[in-house]
Amino acid sequence: MIRLETLGKSFGSFDAVKDVNIEVPKGAFLVLVGPSGCGKSTMLRMLAGLETPSAGRIVFGEDTVSDGEKGWTIDPSRRNVGLVFQSYALWPHMTVAGNVDWPLKVKGLDKAERQARVSEVLGLLGIGALAQRYPNEISGGQQQRVAIARMIAPKPGILLFDEPLSNLDAKLRVEMRTELLRVHRATGATSVYVTHDQVEAMTMASHVAVLNAGRVEQFGPPAELVARPATAFVATFVGTPPANLVPVSALPPVLAAGHPQGVSLMYRPEDMRVSAQPTPDSLAFEFAEASPVAGRIMITGTSGDRRLTAVVDQAPHFTVGDSVHFILPPSPAALFGATGERLQ
């Protein structure tokens, strides 16, 4: 179990992480997701013990491992965590087996135990055949597997991942997601995974925390975040594609009627249709692109810095720059207030 209680971290007067309250059970796969600079890495560094919180507490199981009020934190090497970064940071002068063996040596295991564990984790990651190669003799994806093998070898209770797949190409990234989940399950450890990629977050997580400017906007299972976003930020951040948010002032009069000023209305892409001709319930945007998604077509339009997307079965042929009329459903899927809070 990992519990974060009113956790905060300030750098001078700047709050990088503020008032975070989260609890996940043992074996959970928690994903911290949010835009660049929202505080994800700072949270992970606090979990790893590389950074002391300025406020609140971090509790692993029954043990408080960091206390912001008292200003202390248990050393990274003594908190039973494994950490994998975006860069693999393998030791270039050691073989694959040597890299994975190193933390076991540090832990003081005897040679027979170490050999058995190295071959077990290399097997788990499917890289047993690479044991005697050096890091510069294997691919980026293989190097990342070695980094993960090295992390799990000493059997940490908590696995921490900081954007571990972002250096890999798109296809390998998708494969490695499945691999990582398999490894996570095989170890029985609780994992915390940082990414700015919401698709990665939604496909991997048992629990997601969406961060924005150092605060958790919403915490819950991925399906709940998509079905019932708590804030306008979450609504436009999660989902494939994310939902559309339209200020009431931009709506056609027939749809704006009855809604208070200042609110924004959420429309799901799959509830919208597109037309080459205007209708009383449509919004005119400039056609930007059409792309196939799971047997359907995703149409994107732009207007200044605003975007709308619709996912439809059929659409007229548009070329870039054409007017595309997005037909909105009679009722929005949700309503958000001026400061982004959910109204209904």
Nearer residue to ligand ATP within complex by CB, 42 or 54: 42
Least Å from the CB of residue 210 to ligand ATP: 12
Cis peptide before 241 (omega within 30 of 0): yes
**215 contributes a contact to ligand ATP by CB under 6 A:** no
Least Å from the CB of residue 229 to ligand ATP: 20
User: Residue 324's closest CA among 284, 271, 297, 268?
Assistant: 284
- Give yes or no for a contact between 171 and 155, defined as CB atoms under 8 angstroms apart: no
Q: x/- site string to ligand ATP, residues 42 to 71, per CB under 6 A? A: x-----------------------------
Least Å from the CB of residue 5 to ligand ATP: 19
**38 contributes a contact to ligand ATP by CB under 6 A:** yes
Nearer residue to ligand ATP within complex by CB, 11 or 91: 11
Least Å from the CB of residue 35 to ligand ATP: 7
Residue 94 phi/psi, 5° resolution? -110, 145
**16 contributes a contact to ligand ATP by CB under 6 A:** yes
**E-assigned strands of the chain?**
2-11, 14-24, 29-33, 55-60, 63-67, 72-73, 81-84, 158-162, 190-195, 207-212, 215-220, 244-247, 264-267, 273-275, 282-293, 296-303, 306-312, 323-327, 334-336
**212 contributes a contact to ligand ATP by CB under 6 A:** no
CA 221 remoteness from chain centre: 12
Nearer residue to ligand ATP within complex by CB, 34 or 53: 34
Which position among 11, 140, 186, 343 is part of the footprint of ligand ATP (CB under 6 A)?
A: 11
| Calpha distance 17→213 (Å, rounded) | 8
Least Å from the CB of residue 214 to ligand ATP: 7
**E-assigned strands of 128-172?**
158-162
Instruction: Point out which span in 29-37, 219-227, 229-237, 286-294 binds ligand ATP (CB under 6 A).
Output: 29-37
Least Å from the CB of residue 39 to ligand ATP: 4
Instruction: Point out which span in 32-40, 56-64, 233-241, 313-321 binds ligand ATP (CB under 6 A).
Output: 32-40
DSSP 50: S
| Calpha distance 269→127 (Å, rounded) | 42
Instruction: Point out which span in 8-16, 55-63, 129-137, 184-192 binds ligand ATP (CB under 6 A).
Output: 8-16
**196 contributes a contact to ligand ATP by CB under 6 A:** yes
Q: Which residues bind ligand ATP (CB under 6 A)?
A: 11, 14, 16, 34, 36-42, 196
